[in-house]
A and B are shown apart, each in its own frame.
Chain A
Amino acid sequence: MQIRTNEEWLSDLRGENQDQAIEDLRKVLKKGLIYALSSRIKVDLETQVEDFVQDSLLRILDKMDTFRGESRFTTWAQKVAVRVAFTEMRRQRWKDISIEDLLPEDSGDFTPMVLSDPSPDPEKRAAQTLMLEMIDGMMSSELTERQRTALLAIMHGGMPLEEVARRMDTNRNALYKLLHDARKQMRNRLLEKGLTAQEVLAMFETG
């Protein structure tokens, strides 16, 4: 395969050598994805990767103007391909799961938080209960319902950010900002109470 500089990739993908350049890029992306996804995709790896690569090539051709030239073109293109692959894999993985499925039962405003696996040590358990009450109050008073829902879907349900964003009719960036604000509010509220997150964390350490 022809070795190309960034400028050559861009000019070939835009010019009369486009077909050959696309084929070359297809091989590069496929090799990378097959290797990188082999531990995650156990069935029809090659077919799935070919689909990802096809979608990635369309995205790359569409977004080529956004390539800033701060890396090799193939690194940037592979980054796009990894994003395309994960977006689809996550969509498949979470397709039948709603946010409500992931939230703790009775996660409304008026149901107090309880710990399902408190410490066996009575003293520590009592401290955890007090702390949990405080966190509960803090989440109810400081966070919006949207912040609480997103936080719990991610922290409790383990749903990826982009899947939560899709279900909340927003995008990954906006959701990240929403959560950043929520974390800052919680951190500041803790500090007002003379506590750091590290100290709270220590109370819930296992073992």
Chain B
Amino acid sequence: MELTTKTIRNMMSSVKSTRELELTCGHCYDELDQFIEMKLSGKKAEEAMPLVQEHLDRCPTCREEYETLLEALKAMAD
């Protein structure tokens, strides 16, 4: 089985960031609107909701949606 250095790095990065307690994608999604409003109002959302921040750091699928939602909300505010 031929793997690239990048694959091994991806795997080990995800192992490195593993915690006993993690939010699933569904739980992260449930909290995301509250988290993002804190971010937009300049509050330290990552301190108030660290599990959400950790999930976003770890899960590219959720992070992509979070970043897009952030953009969409900025447009709505204009």
Contact = CB atoms under 8 A, between A and B. Distances in A.
A47 interface: no
Contact of B71 (A35, A183, A184): A35
Contacts of A68: 30
A204 B9 contact: yes
Interface centre among B12, B32, B59, B61 (most CB of A within 10 A): B12
A127 interface: no
Contact of A180 (B11, B12, B18, B32): B18
Q: Chain B interface mostly helix, strand, loop or mixed?
A: helix
Contact of B36 (A75, A85, A136, A176): A75
7 residue pairs, one from A and one from B, having the closest CB atoms: A32-B72, A35-B75, A197-B16, A71-B33, A36-B71, A36-B72, A197-B15
Interface of B: 1-5, 7-16, 18, 20, 22, 24-26, 29-30, 32-34, 36-37, 59-61, 64-65, 68-69, 71-76
Interface of A: 28, 31-37, 68, 70-72, 74-76, 78-79, 81-83, 85-86, 104-108, 111-118, 132, 135-136, 151-152, 155-156, 160-162, 172-173, 176-177, 179-180, 183-184, 186-187, 190, 196-198, 200-201, 204-206
